[in-house]
Every structure is written in C-alpha cells, then in structure tokens.
C-alpha cells in the first residue's frame, strides 16, 4: 500500500510539473509530535508559521499514521514504503546496538531515495537517520545524494 502511495505521489508530481522540470518533493518526519501540536492542526498556543505555510501551500495528508510506536521502525516503513515487519525491522536500535554491524535497514530493501534517483531526482536527507549506525547503512549508500545529520537515535 505504501509503495502505491509513494508511486502515486511521484507520478502525480511529475504529471503536474512544468515540461522538463521535476517538482520538488519534501517529506517531513517529526518524532514525538502530537497531532494537535501545530498551528495548522488548530493549536493557537504554539506558533508554527513555516510549517503552517507548507501545509497551506503544499499537499497535506491528514489521515497518515505510522506503522510502529517508535522511531526507527516507523522510519523504515516510510523509507521503503513497506510494513517493516515484512522484512524483519521491528526493533529500535539504541545505545550500543547502533554500533552493531548488522543492525540497520536491510540493504536488500529499496528506499524512496532509490526510486526518486531513478526518476531523475537529486535527493538529500537532513536530520536524523536512525536506520543503521555503521558505514554500510549510511544514507549516501541508501540512495541519498547528500546527507547532513546524525546516524543514531539522538545527537550529543
């Protein structure tokens, strides 16, 4: 289902783009953000004008739900377009487990970045990766052209 959703987003974006120009696609993922914590969701107490502008002027999905109760597994679902339990990624590597050379998004799984690069996009990831802390899982090796962020569950 998620692969269909991701393919639909890419296809719709490309179909609506100016000739010979791919539209920008920006996906935002915020860990531990409650549904009603943004201005665009009706919260009058916490100003979020830039996010509100993105919600008003972009494509907004209000019925999307994560497929796991913690960050690493839900990121794996988003990055692959698949339920992470179908490829054995039900855990949340923290602390020393981030250094385990076998803990990470399985390399046989294609990411949304792989798909976008094949469609002619230049891709980048800014922020938290948390899908493997060793070199073979680095975002640059998973379809991203640029990466600026941190590999583990948090930064110090």
Active-site residue set? 71, 130
Cβ proximity of 96 and 38 under 8 Å: no
Written as six digits, the tokens of 96 are: 């020393």
Residue 46, SS3? coil
* Nearest-angstrom CA–CA distance, 3 and 149: 26
Structure-token match 């830039």, residue found: 50
Residues contacting residue 107 through CB under 8 Å, at least 6 positions apart: 136, 137, 141, 142
């Amino acid at each position: 289902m998620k692969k269909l959703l991701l393919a639909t987003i890419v296809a719709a974006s490309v179909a609506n783009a100016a000739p010979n120009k791919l539209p920008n696609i920006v996906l935002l993922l915020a860990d531990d953000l409650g549904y009603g914590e943004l201005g665009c969701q009706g919260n009058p107490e916490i100003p979020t004008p830039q996010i509100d502008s993105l919600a008003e002027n972009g494509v907004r999905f209000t019925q999307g739900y994560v497929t796991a109760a913690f960050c690493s597994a839900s990121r794996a679902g988003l990055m692959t377009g698949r339920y992470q339990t179908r490829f054995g990624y039900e855990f949340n590597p923290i602390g020393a487990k981030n250094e385990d050379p076998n803990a990470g998004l399985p390399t046989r799984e294609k990411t949304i970045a792989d798909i976008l690069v094949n469609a002619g996009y230049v891709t980048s990831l800014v922020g938290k990766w948390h899908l493997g802390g060793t070199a073979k899982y680095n975002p640059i090796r998973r379809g991203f052209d640029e990466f600026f962020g941190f590999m583990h569950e948090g930064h110090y």
